[in-house]
Amino acid sequence: MLEIAASESGGVRLLRMTGELDMAGVDRFERLLTADGTPQPETFVIDLRGLTFIDSSGLRALIIADQRVRDEGGRFIVVRGQDRVNEVLEMTGVAKRIELVDEPPAG
């Protein structure tokens, strides 16, 4: 099961994910990215440190979200997760397509 804690501050929307990003959680993730009709933040930070599993639908959601945010002139940052999740990002080539960091940006 996927838990997502969302917060926003100073033009940055932070989504902290815990659990499994799979087909069952993708809709919730996508809704939270575009939540509430307020002006879109300039930067999205997706924190995967609490994630224990990601499947192909989760990978696809990250890629689509990254593309959409960058198309709108924003920045999409993904905080690396546990080894198992990072290995999937590396093996599938997703790690080369998105901005990966070890820690969320300060602020």
CATH code of the domain containing 14:
3.30.750.24
Structural domain boundaries enclosing 6 = 2-101
For 10-20, what is each residue's pLDDT tens digit?
889 999 999 99
* 66 lies in some domain: yes
24-80 pLDDT tens trace:
999 999 888 876 555 667 899 999 999 999 999 999 999 999 999 999 899 999 999
pLDDT exceeds cutoff 80 at 104? yes
Flag whether 96 is in a domain: yes
Residue 107 belongs to some domain of the structure? no
Q: Is residue 106 part of a domain?
A: no
Residue 10 lies in a domain: yes
In single-letter form, the type of residue at position 16 comes to: R
Is residue 7 domain-resident? Answer: yes
pLDDT in the model for residue 90? 96
Number of domains in the chain: 1
Q: Residue 102 — very low, low, confident or very high, per pLDDT cuts 50/70/90?
A: very high
